[in-house]
């Protein structure tokens, strides 16, 4: 299984100005934007860390996922959520030949925790081959689409990392308790290994 992020969140979707306000940067001074690249980096890192912890994609983007077998003949759980669209399914033979599967042969069962690709019977994956599934995942393309508690968790984590950026400061490898409490309800518990 190989999950690839095909597109990244647009720079315009990253709430740099709101984060600067959250940090109270530049209060009483003219804002020259000199910290913007640094703040964007901390925000992107916090978004990535939280997405990895909860298995949810905050800002919508395209993904490509390859796997060698289905979980069940009629359904396959997807590795992240929420998924808004399956863009393509391609069968890849052992020799590298590719063939697109008709979009009418499958559909998306959207779910906040366990989105699935479903069909009466999913197409047979070629022997020693793979299937590549393209899909769009995320709450939406704009920061306003992200649930308020997850947006706040991103700001708290980015602020914690920003304030502990000097060497030797901050707890290494841990998330602040406030961040963990905000993201807890979004975690997906996988008991049956439904994505293989």
pLDDT above 80: residue 29: no
Both 119 and 162 in a single domain?
Answer: no
Tell whether the model's pLDDT for residue 151 goes beyond 70.
Answer: yes
In a domain, 195, yes or no: no
**Closest-CA residue to 144 (of 55, 13, 19, 56):** 13
Instruction: Say yes or no: 53 and 87 in one domain.
Output: no
**Whole-number pLDDT of residue 84:** 96
Q: What pLDDT shows up at residue 163?
A: 86
Measured between alpha carbons, how far is 44 from 52 in angstroms, rounded to an integer? 12
* Residue range 12-25, pLDDT digits in tens: 999 999 998 888 87
Statement to judge: residues 37 and 69 lie in one domain: no
Distance CA 46, CA 48 (A): 5
Rounded average pLDDT over 99-118:
95
In the chain, the number of structural domains is 2
Distance CA 89, CA 134 (A): 6
Task: Spell out the long-range contacts of 92-95 with Cβ–Cβ below 8 A and sequence spacing 24 or more.
Answer: 92/66, 92/126, 92/129, 92/130, 92/131, 92/132, 93/126, 93/128, 93/129, 94/126, 94/127, 94/128, 94/129
Whether residue 179 lies inside any domain: the answer is yes
Q: Which residues pair with 4 in a beta bridge?
A: 64
Host domain of residue 43 = 7-58+143-186
pTM here is: 0.87
CB count within 10 Å of CB 96 equals: 7
Residue 99 pLDDT > 80, yes or no?
Answer: yes
Q: What's residue 189's pLDDT?
A: 72
Confidence of residue 31 (pLDDT cuts 50, 70, 90): low
Phi, psi at 76, each rounded to 5°: -145, 120
Q: Using CB atoms within 10 A of its CB, is residue 180 exposed (0-12), middle (13-18) or buried (19+)?
A: middle
Q: Tell me which of 32-41, 79-88, 110-119 is least confident.
A: 32-41
Chain-centroid distance, C-alpha 144? 16
Q: What is the dihedral of CA 94, 98, 103, 107, to 10 degrees?
A: 30
The residue among 1 and 185 whose pLDDT is bigger is 185
Average of pLDDT values for 107-128?
A: 95
153 and 117, same structural domain? no
**CATH code of the domain containing 154:** 1.10.3230
């Amino acid at each position: 299984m190989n999950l690839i992020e095909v597109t990244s969140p647009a720079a315009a979707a990253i709430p740099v100005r709101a984060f600067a306000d959250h940090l109270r940067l530049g209060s009483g001074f003219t804002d020259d934007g000199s910290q913007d690249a640094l703040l964007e980096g901390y925000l992107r890192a916090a978004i990535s860390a939280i997405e990895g912890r909860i298995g949810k994609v905050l800002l919508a983007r395209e993904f490509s996922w390859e796997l060698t077998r289905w979980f069940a003949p009629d359904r396959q759980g997807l590795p992240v959520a929420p998924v808004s669209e399956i863009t393509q399914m391609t069968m890849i033979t052992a020799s590298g030949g590719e063939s697109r599967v008709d979009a009418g042969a499958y559909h998306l069962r959207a779910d906040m925790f366990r989105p699935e690709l479903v069909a009466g019977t999913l197409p047979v994956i070629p022997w020693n081959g793979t299937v590549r599934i393209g899909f769009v995942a995320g709450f939406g393309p704009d920061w306003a689409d992200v649930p308020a508690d997850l947006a706040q968790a991103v700001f708290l984590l980015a602020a914690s990392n920003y304030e502990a950026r000097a060497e030797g400061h901050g707890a290494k490898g841990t998330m602040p308790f406030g961040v963990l409490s905000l993201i807890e309800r979004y975690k997906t518990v996988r008991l049956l290994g439904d994505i293989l």
